[in-house]
Chains A and B, each alone.
Chain A
Amino acid sequence: MIEIINVSKWFGELKVLDNVKETINKGQVVVICGPSGSGKSTLLKSLNGLEPFQEGDIRVDGISLNDPKTNFIKLRQKMGMVFQRFELYPHMKVIENITIAPTKVLNQSKSQAGKKAMELLERVGIPEQADKYPGNLSGGQQQRVAIARALAMEPDIMLFDEPTSALDPEMIKEVLDVMVDLAQSGMTMAVVTHEMGFAKEVADEIIFMDEGRIIERGTDKSFFENPESERLKEFLRKILI
């Protein structure tokens, strides 16, 4: 479903992705972790063309992002994205946040999109917040709206960039529960997170990045029980205390 083929990227002089190779199959959940600045967000954003890269190729359902004929607008309609800082549209009500893309991008009718949006709000557990503005919701509620907003486009793939790291501890679980549910429903997911509980529960593969490289990869068992590199051992010590 997603093939990352020897991708390298520079910001000026700084090499932020270094020969990254990875395959994400349909229905798989891949967790990406690593220290700050290791290139996790950059990698995730390169998957839907938000960040261009200089070397290598990425193929989504066989469509090459390097192909000048590739329509990124179309491609992104099939790839939902959830951000660390939610990025809801603050001037629109929750329900409008969810319906605007289906109505304006997919030309769905208002009533059809509204009905779907309410179903999604039920699914993430906050139908009663539909008519509020995002600023009046808690962080955990906002992130669940952001997930509903992404799902409204009926994506084949969901990308998450540290979806819980801006949240107070008591709200992390409500967001992770929604994500676990999504993973178990068969969604293909690439998740940047340090929530190792989540990784253990649903990840098919975990990859560890440092300085733009994938240093280690494994299933949750091998990853946590037999980390090979010193870097990963040190990283796990830091985040598991």
Chain B
Amino acid sequence: MNFEWQVISNNFFFLMGGLVTTFELALIAIAGGLTLGILVGMGRLSKFKFIYYPATLFVNLMRTQPLILVIFWFYFLVPLIIGRPIGGFTSAVIAFTIFEASYFAEIIRAGIQSISKGQMEAAYSSGFTYWQAMRYFIIPQALKNMMPSLITQAVVVFQDTSLAYVIGLREFLRSANIVDAREMRSVELYLFVGLVYFIVCFSMSRICKKLELKKGYA
């Protein structure tokens, strides 16, 4: 068979527009999911039942649902609840943030639990509050331990965003899809898409390896 790679260069800006959307979606989902995940992960360790139970319910609910279903939920449900349509991008951002938060939360929970109880006791006995102790001692150390898992999860989020094409969001995969419908060049287009995903994800996991090697304290 003969390849016609011009399909890539002819539609380069269109495809890159999709890639930008993919990056935007992934970055917001990672930042939002991580922030929410830190709170939920701490909630999973709370001794207060009214914090622990909702956090645990949230994590278990999200982690038992297929992501594609969660994307549909937010796409169809949120407009019903707030009474007006919200674009595909916004609904995807909300769906990914909430879904990925449950995975980040479990990484954070394990990371915090990996820090010995004595660190908290040391902080308390110097007169720190719980929140100060978390902020200055527990979370910085936990984050360092968790970095490899967090990056792995970030790579997964980046890949997961391709699922947003089911609600018509013009992210990277969807853009290739649209070009393909017009130009009938599936092989070239999907090979290109695969290559770009490979480059991005492979570089992220290399960074992860490097961090793992440097894990000991200076």
**Chain A complexes with chain B:** yes
- Name A residues whose Cβ lies closer than 8 Å to a Cβ of B: 45, 48, 50, 73-74, 76-77, 79-81, 83, 85, 87-91, 100-101, 104-106, 133, 135, 149-150, 153, 159
Cβ–Cβ contact B121 & A89, under 8 A? no
Out of A74, A85, A101, which one reaches B126, CB within 8 Å?
Answer: A101
Cβ–Cβ contact A153 & B126, under 8 A? yes
Given A89-B137, A91-B144, A135-B217, also A45-B121 (CB < 8 A): yes
Of residues 96 through 140 on chain B, the ones whose CB sits less than 8 Å from some CB of chain A are 116, 118-119, 121-122, 124-129, 132, 136-137, 140
Helix, strand, loop or mixed for chain B's interface?
helix
Out of A80, A81, A90, A104, which one reaches B141, CB within 8 Å?
Answer: A90
> What residues of B have a CB within 8 angstroms of the CB of A87 in the complex?
116, 118-119, 121-122
7 additional A-B residue pairs with CB within 8 Å, beyond A100-B136, A105-B126: A74-B127, A76-B126, A76-B127, A89-B136, A89-B141, A91-B217, A100-B126
Digit string of B73-108 for contact with A (CB within 8 Å is 1, else 0)? 000000000000000000000000000000000000
> What residues of A have a CB within 8 angstroms of the CB of B141 in the complex?
89-91
Size class of the B contact interface (CB-based, 8 Å) = 20 to 34
> What residues of B have a CB within 8 angstroms of the CB of A77 in the complex?
126-127
* Closest beta carbon of chain A to B47's beta carbon, Å: 12
* Closest beta carbon of chain A to B112's beta carbon, Å: 14
Least CB separation from B130: chain A residue: A73
> What residues of B have a CB within 8 angstroms of the CB of A149 in the complex?
126
List 13 A–B pairs whose Cβ atoms lie within 8 Å, in order of A's numbering: A50-B121, A73-B127, A76-B125, A77-B127, A81-B121, A87-B122, A89-B122, A105-B126, A105-B127, A106-B127, A135-B217, A150-B125, A153-B126
Cβ–Cβ contact B119 & A89, under 8 A? yes
Out of A83, A133, A135, which one reaches B122, CB within 8 Å?
Answer: A83
> What residues of A have a CB within 8 angstroms of the CB of B116 in the complex?
85, 87
Least CB separation from B127: chain A residue: A77
Given A73-B127, A89-B137, A153-B127, also A81-B122 (CB < 8 A): yes
B1 at the interface (CB under 8 A from A): no
> What residues of A have a CB within 8 angstroms of the CB of B132 in the complex?
104-105
Cβ–Cβ contact A76 & B124, under 8 A? yes
> What residues of A have a CB within 8 angstroms of the CB of B127 in the complex?
73-74, 76-77, 101, 105-106, 153
Cβ–Cβ contact B125 & A79, under 8 A? yes
Give CA–CA (A150, B136) in the complex, Å: 17
Least CB separation from B121: chain A residue: A50
> What residues of A have a CB within 8 angstroms of the CB of B137 in the complex?
89, 91
Out of B125, B128, B129, B136, which one reaches A50, CB within 8 Å?
Answer: B125
From A100, A106, A153, name the one whose CB has the most chain B CB atoms within 10 angstroms: A100
Give CA–CA (A69, B218) in the complex, Å: 43
Give CA–CA (A83, B137) in the complex, Å: 16
Given A85-B118, A104-B136, also A90-B217 (CB < 8 A): yes
* Closest beta carbon of chain B to A88's beta carbon, Å: 8
Cβ–Cβ contact B218 & A133, under 8 A? yes
Give CA–CA (A188, B12) in the complex, Å: 75
Give CA–CA (A106, B126) in the complex, Å: 10
Digit string of B202-218 for contact with A (CB within 8 Å is 1, else 0)? 00000000000000111
Give CA–CA (A1, B95) in the complex, Å: 57
> What residues of A have a CB within 8 angstroms of the CB of B126 in the complex?
76-77, 80, 100-101, 105, 149-150, 153
Cβ–Cβ contact B125 & A104, under 8 A? no
Least CB separation from A79: chain B residue: B125
Least CB separation from A132: chain B residue: B218
Give CA–CA (A106, B116) in the complex, Å: 25
Least CB separation from B135: chain A residue: A104
> What residues of B have a CB within 8 angstroms of the CB of A45 in the complex?
121
> What residues of B have a CB within 8 angstroms of the CB of A80 in the complex?
125-126
> What residues of A have a CB within 8 angstroms of the CB of B118 in the complex?
83, 85, 87
> What residues of B have a CB within 8 angstroms of the CB of A74 in the complex?
127
